[in-house]
Amino acid sequence: MVERGKYSEVLLDIYTREELQEAGKLINKDSDRKFSYSGLQTLTKTYLAKNDKGLVMELPQERFLTVALYLMSIEKKKDRMKYVKKAYWALLNHYIGLATPTLKNAGAPHGSLSSCHILTMDDTIDSIFDVAKQVAIFSKNGSGIGVFAGFLRARGSRIRGVKVQNNGVIHPARLLSVLAEYVDQTGTRKAGVSIYLPVWHADIKDFLELRLKTGSQEKRAHSVTTAVTIPDEFMRRLHNKELFTIFDPTEVKKKLGVDLNMQYDKKRLQDGEEPNEKDHAFTYWYRKAEELDLEIKEVVKATDIYKSIFVSRKTGGTPYMYWSDTSARQNPNGHVGMPFASNLCTEIIQNMEYDEIVENGLDENGYIVLKLKGDGLVTCNLSSLVGHNTHDLDEETYQEVVDIQFRMLDNVISMGRLSVHQAKQTNDLYRAVGAGYLGMATLMTDKGIPWESEKATEFVGEEFKRYLKAQIKASHKLAVEKGSYPLYEGSDWATGEFFDKRGLVGSEWEELRSMAAVGMRNGYTAAVAPTASNSIIMNGSPSIDAPYDVAYTENKSGMNVLIVPPNYNNRTKWFYKSGFEMDEMWSINHVAEAQKYIDQAVSHNMHVSSNIKGSELLRLDMAAWDKGLKTIYYTHTEDREKPEDCIMCAG
């Protein structure tokens, strides 16, 4: 396989013949019986190595073992076979579901092991086109992309002090839309690109119409998804049906001396409380900006902006919702930066920064030397705990699963294979991972717990509390062995703020607080990604969402095949319901409970009626914000075709 160019030379360079023979004896052929036909079909279509004629050249257990060998190849010689056995054990028992790029490319000679990236556009031509190039490069390698466009000046803003017909964010959005079509995901589908814009940006109304099928198509960008970043101040004014001001961030920064994109409220503003610069920086400066005499400024009803959001979501499923103050407040690395937005699937929230290129003198030949400062190009390194297969494990075995999960994730970072250098730089600084979860609905039906119940919410909380404790222990052990991430000092992990912010106090947290205070290998630990294909392979429900459908048909090889949950039987069928048959508020309650124990976010799909009214969606959004959700992914209505997830950015 190495000679044929299907496997990496690393496998032969690192391991001895004796070690590979020992590894071969680990293969458990009977474990292939754990897969459903759909799972085997999914593996065959996307993951298993094929020859030049498209014929499969490896079996599922060989794929799992090759992944284990490759990811553990950087461990110390005396330990690596021990970790190979652990990794293969966790995979063959379906305790861990690997992210698509890791399962597909680990052991292969090329291809990224990471899932997605988040880029930040600065308000310069250089930055706009640098980001466009990076989007193209990442998309070529199959990564999903999130882009924050909030620093871009608004339509009609001055350029070099001259009043011109500047086009604002719409044309960069259309540029990325064309790129998504042109540079597709390794030839399989158009690229996955999401663009985030603050709700207070003067171009927000045009932005919310980008994906509409009506109106002037010169102002549309159908091949990107939209996302809105929303501060607490907008939600308060929306609740109170008050006026809201939108303006040009560049003009505000020039006249106010403060960049609103860089501000957030460290504390929730209470009713009747006046904002202060320290605790409520965004709200304080936003209200100052409203008082300015600005060329580009419009006072609108907050409800009018929300109506546009509602129409866009009801007809097209987006924009995604990103609550900026909530996200920044819970950031464990606020000592060195802040997040502005999320990724294509809305579960990753990490410090972001746009690249800066500056002249750094001349070299010996008299050529100008350019210095690149790029510490904020975020990378998603994902895998998922398979909840319905790990819930009943004893504590020692459960910890072993999470320990090997974190070792694999951490080695994905070390082994890199990232196509843009800045991504590697940020990856190395934070060593951020997103330990996710799949199979919650499967697990609940196994346990006979109705989705629409407070018992279900409590169950989700206990499951994620247990998971967080195991994550902290796993990352701490790696830090003791290999060192903490470079920006650890001053982080919420080191100071204990991580626990205080979340109310994780008392005797059950003291040992974990002490561990985190000694060292953490990973600056970010948890993120619940969409797991569509992963869930099929692992015989479970996606992520922690309610089922999209309970039973449905798919056309396979010209035949209509009935697809039902793997554990659907006379005992469990009474507990199965589609998300469309239930009040979405139950799902929001469950996600909010999980979010208490997740340092990043949950990629949560809303399931609502196609006849939903704006007031009802507002009720759900207001509750989501109030209960501490950071993001909402797609808003599904039952009459709309379910969008195809970016397969390479699934956890």
pLDDT in tens, 378-437: 999 999 999 999 999 999 999 999 999 999 999 999 998 888 888 899 999 999 999 999
CA distance 512 to 226: 39
116-318 classified as CATH 3.20.70.20: yes
In sequence order, which ranges of 291-344 are alpha helices (DSSP H)? 302-316, 324-329
Half-sphere exposure in the Cβ direction for 486 (13 Å, CA): 9
CB 470 within 8 A of CB 398: yes
Q: What is the DSSP string of 275-295?
A: P-TTTBHHHHHHHHHHTS--S
Indicate the pLDDT class of residue 221, thresholds 50, 70 and 90.
Answer: confident
Average pLDDT over residues 585-610: 97
Category of 249 on φ-ψ map: left (φ > 0), alpha (ψ -120 to 50) or beta: alpha
The sign of the torsion formed by the CA atoms of 252, 254, 257, 259 equals: positive
Q: How far apart are the first and last CA of the chain?
A: 27
CA distance 372 to 404: 35
DSSP letter for 214, please.
Answer: S
Q: Determine whether 347 is an active site residue.
A: yes
pLDDT at residue 162 in the model: 61
pLDDT at residue 418 in the model: 83
pLDDT one-digit tens code per residue, 552-583: 776 655 667 677 888 999 999 999 999 999 99
Helices (H) and strands (E) in the chain, counts: 25, 18
Of 209, 219, 223, 204, the residue nearest 135 (C-alpha): 223
Q: Is the pLDDT score of 186 beyond 60?
A: no
Candidates 347, 400, 584, 593; catalytic one:
347
CA distance 386 to 540: 8
Indicate the pLDDT class of residue 118, thresholds 50, 70 and 90.
Answer: very high
Q: Determine whether 649 is an active site residue.
A: no
> What DSSP element (H or E) covers 518?
helix 507-518
Determine if the pTM surpasses 0.85: yes
Indicate the pLDDT class of residue 509, thresholds 50, 70 and 90.
Answer: very high
Burial environment of residue 215 by CB neighbours within 10 A (0 to 12, 13 to 18, 19 or more): exposed
Pairing of strands 193-198, 144-148: parallel
Radius of gyration for the chain, computed over Cα atoms and rounded to the nearest angstrom: 24
Candidates 116, 345, 380, 649; catalytic one:
345
CB 288 within 8 A of CB 200: no
pLDDT one-digit tens code per residue, 276-293: 999 999 999 999 999 999
CB atoms within 10 A of CB 265: 22
pLDDT one-digit tens code per residue, 344-375: 999 999 999 998 766 667 777 777 655 556 67
Of 125, 206, 123, the residue nearest 157 (C-alpha): 123
Domain ranges of the chain: 116-318
Average pLDDT over residues 621-628: 98
% of the chain residues with pLDDT over 90: 79
Average pLDDT over residues 167-186: 85
